[in-house]
Structure 1
């Protein structure tokens, strides 16, 4: 009986998704224009904030994506780059995308959610801070203000 209880309890403590100090998986995605980017290699040496979101997500504050551009401009000289990963199919002619055309950081598409799954994303939005070595250093599940994102990634910047 005790053995059965231990097996059940051990099963309840399985790690789900990436944990702090885990190396992130190597993934390749395309941006809204069909250009490919491989993470973390193509941004090696940079501190990344990877935000998983969806254009269809009612809980995803789209204004955060615009605010990340301001933080990118403020910190890119110190090695910071945000990466937005839309977890759904994108119609390039969707008028809602026009508000993001001026963003200069990578806006990637994960149509089938396979990359989100590799990262252990169980809900949107979810954001990860990855250090310059490709190691997870922070995670925010759900929405957060730009000041919270800034505190999280600036603690990792060298």
Structure 2
């Protein structure tokens, strides 16, 4: 009987924890910008410590891919992003935004995947939260006027990105 009560208590605590996480996630998204909204300006540093401010790229299409180095779907989509970036490098700005990780973790990711595209570091997740990014990978496309046109949750292909960007040109 005591083991049964302990098991029931543990299950109840687990369910409460899951619900609390869900509610906190929904509240955090309530303040986030979404498709059709003007993108929140931010400044993040790259691998070399140079700051990049989103507003500096006004007038250009900007693609932001939020990811984590340990994320298997992110690793699987890397060749698609490499192909996309190589094809469209002259037509838009592309950044991979690293969510709450060290530069060393990203260096290991580059060694594993060959993915060396521009990385920006969102160490405290402020930018991720402001765009409503809760998982990875997630990709946001911002038009020339600074308006969010797409928010893609999950892995994305070169073809999908190419189609979405071509619609904005």
> Is 1:107 aligned to 2:119, yes or no?
yes
Q: What is the CA distance between 1:120 and its match in structure 2?
A: 0.8
Structure 2 segments unaligned to the other structure (5+ residues): 1-28
> Is 1:152 aligned to 2:164, yes or no?
yes
Instruction: Map 1:72-83 to 2 at 5 A.
Output: 72-77=85-90, 79-83=91-95
**Structure 1 segments of 4 or more deviating over 6 A?**
none
Residue aligning to 1:55? 69
C-alpha distance in 1, partners of 2:33/2:96? 18
Residue aligning to 1:31? 46
C-alpha distance in 2, partners of 1:55/1:83? 14
Structure 1 segments unaligned to the other structure (5+ residues): 1-13
RMSD: 2.5
Match of 1:128 among 132, 140, 145: 140
Q: Check conservation: 1:20, 1:137, Cα contact below 8 A.
A: yes
C-alpha distance in 2, partners of 1:43/1:67? 23
Instruction: Map 1:7-26 to 2 at 5 A.
Output: 17-26=32-41
Aligned residues: 140
> Deviations along 1:5-49, whole A, 9 cap, x unmatched?
xxxxxxxxx95632222000010101122111011x222221111
Q: Check conservation: 1:55, 1:88, Cα contact below 8 A.
A: no
Please state whether the residue corresponding to 1:92 is helix, strand or coil. helix
TM-score, normalised relative to structure 1: 0.76
C-alpha distance in 1, partners of 2:155/2:165? 16
